[in-house]
Amino acid sequence: MTDSTVADATGASAKPAVKPARPYFSSGPCAKPPGWSPEKLATESLGRSHRSKLGKSRLAYCIDLMREMLGLPDTHHIGIVPGSDTGAFEMAMWTMLGARDVTTLAWESFGEGWVTDAVKQLKLEPTVLRADYGQLPDLDSVDWSSDVLFTWNGTTSGVRVPDGEWIADDREGLAFADATSAVFAYDIPWDKIDVATFSWQKVLGGEGGHGVLILGPRAVERLESHTPAWPLPKVFRLTKSGKLNDGIFSGATINTPSMLAVEDAIFALEWGKSVGGLPGMIARSNANAHALDKIVAERDWLGHLAADSGIRSKTSVCLTVEGADTDLIKKMASLLEKEGAALDVAGYRDAPPGLRIWCGATVDTADIEALGPWLDWAYAAAKAG
């Protein structure tokens, strides 16, 4: 307990006086950008065909904004696809794997999902490199003669790869990065990535249901030279007559998108430009993570699930709570939600019992700072009864 709280007659800490102005700390869907409101979204494309001149232009504009914000080189294609990040990553797996051996890395639930897909669905017998929650597998042991699947930032474990230096420049296989809680929060070395996927609902605070697929030139070569041994559903087909379907990467989506979700993503991307583009968004995430680190350092009952700061997420930060089990965490999260002080802060269901605080760019640092005393209060109140 810190000086910011005082004990009441029962021994539980009193409620702090100041609440986070925007108590949205969910790790997906994440907080909307500051100043967002539905009235601020452009609506001209709503009720129009996504294949109309207007619809295509708005989809193309969204793609162009993502390219600009991410600093994506012209060598890489970017497209909007169905099924959120999961759909985008499985689309890449189903269309490109099977040409050579596969290595899958798993240190949290989504990485394990790609292992399940590779083993049980595609029957690929991959090499699986695992680590417990809070840790990374040995990256130096990765065989880059194989295709390699990994999460850049483990949303459910709070663990990220340290950088792209471990990815071989002379790799024979493709590097598949599930980067859904990493893009717009880290400076991704695109020359190291052949396939990347993400969804708008993470660092942009956008809506769900749509994924983004980024393909480097080696991924395009694979698509045009490799025919999978399994059937492909329509929503996974990225080629036409043996060549990349360029339309998907210029605004002609595979299936009907939500233009409302597209306009919401455009709002978030334009907001990102207004705060300094990618460097500004990275700086906001870093400031939020630093503020949460300070809260943890000041409390002996709080800790980081990722003990090594060099691999600790700066977006989906997972915390350990002294003596906590699932019930205590549920009580804390429920108390905080009831008070409107923090929403959706319980850790992921498959992770060790703890808290998870989103520190991405759409969160204001002042709200992270205001969270500390409320965590003290919720911890004391949950333990008391």
DSSP character string of 163-187? -STTS-TT-SS-EEEE-TTTTTTS-
Task: Supply the pLDDT for residue 9.
Answer: 39
pLDDT on residue 8: 47
With H, G, I as helix, E, B as strand and everything else as coil, classify residue 154.
Answer: strand
Predicted confidence band of residue 14 (pLDDT cuts 50, 70, 90)? confident
How does DSSP classify residue 43?
-
d(CA 206, CA 267): 9
pLDDT at residue number 385: 80
Q: What is the pLDDT of residue 357?
A: 98
pLDDT at 252: 86
Write the pLDDT tens digit of every residue in 49-91.
Answer: 998 999 999 999 999 999 999 999 999 999 999 999 999 999 9
How many alpha carbons lie under 13 Å from residue 330 in its C-beta half-sphere? Answer: 4
Q: Across the chain, what does the average pLDDT equal? A: 95
Whether 356 has a pLDDT exceeding 80, the answer reads yes
Q: What is the pLDDT of residues 161-209, one digit of tens each?
A: 999 999 999 999 999 999 999 999 999 999 999 999 999 999 999 999 9
Backbone phi, psi, residue 343, to 5° = -110, 135
For range 103-122, the mean pLDDT:
97
Alpha-carbon span 115 to 105, nearest angstrom? 8
Q: Is the pLDDT of residue 25 over 80?
A: yes
Class of domain 277-384: alpha beta
- Tell me the mean pLDDT in the region 219-235: 96
Higher pLDDT pick, 1 / 337:
337
pLDDT given at position 2: 40
Residue 1: per-residue pLDDT: 37
What gap in Å lies between CA 195 and CA 210, rounded to an integer?
A: 17
Q: Which amino acid appears at position 182 of this protein? A: A
Please tell me the CATH code under which domain 38-272 is placed.
3.40.640.10
Domain ranges within the chain, ordered by starting residue: 38-272, 277-384
pLDDT tens digit sequence for 293-325: 999 999 999 999 999 999 999 999 999 999 999
For the chain, the farthest-separated pair of C-alpha atoms sits apart, in whole angstroms, at 75
What three-state secondary structure class fits 231? coil
Give the confidence band of 13 by pLDDT, cuts at 50, 70, 90. low
% of the chain with per-residue pLDDT over 70: 97
In whole angstroms, what separates CA 152 from the centre of its chain?
9
Are the C-beta atoms of residues 110 and 87 closer than 8 Å to each other? Answer: no
pLDDT of residue 111: 96
pLDDT at 12: 54
Q: Is the pLDDT of residue 246 over 70?
A: yes
Buried/exposed 321-344: b ≥16 CB within 10 Å, e otherwise: beebeeebbebbbebbbebebbeb
Please report the pLDDT score of residue 258 as a whole number: 96
Over the stretch 3-12, which tens digit does the pLDDT of each residue have?
Answer: 344 444 344 5
